[in-house]
Amino acid sequence: MILNSGDKIPKLTVPNQDGVDCSLYDLLGEKGAVIYFYPRDSTPGCTVEANDFQRLSGDFAALGINVVGISKDSVASHTKFANKHGLEFTLLSDGEGAACEGFGVWQEKKNYGKTYMGIVRSTFLVDAKGEVLKSWTKVKTKGHAEAVLEAAG
């Protein structure tokens, strides 16, 4: 089940794009965080989403909110993705899938008649104590970062 308003995020530690292990709770800003899950580095939709969050990262920071992106891609993939697009927020490498499972975003998906397991593009607005304030699932990237910023403000 995907986490909903009122749920607590899991207590997990996973590596960031620099290979440093990070606790999700340590990444919460003064007022919380936007934690977004995306399927894959350097794909069109994921690149748009990352660039939009980067473009608005100063606005989130002004609200005391950190931005954190999570996918199952490797640390090396995240490093390349962040460097290529100038991403200054944290990307977490959830290779083991613990965060995806903990947030409930690892689900069965269907595409072109094929059924497979994958990350359902989802975003969670979390307060400074790790409680989900709002969640978005099956996210369409266009305008999404702006909608999250509006909800955070």
Q: How far apart are CA 125 and CA 134, in angstroms?
A: 5
**22 counts as catalytic:** no
Residues whose CB is less than 8 angstroms from the CB of residue 39 and which lie 6 or more positions away in sequence, other chains included: 45, 46, 71, 118, 119, 121
Q: Name the residue with tokens 């965060």.
A: 99
Query: Could you say which of 22, 24, 46, 105 is catalytic?
Result: 46
Residues whose CB is less than 8 angstroms from the CB of residue 148 and which lie 6 or more positions away in sequence, other chains included: 34, 36, 123, 125, 136
Annotated active-site positions, please?
A: 46
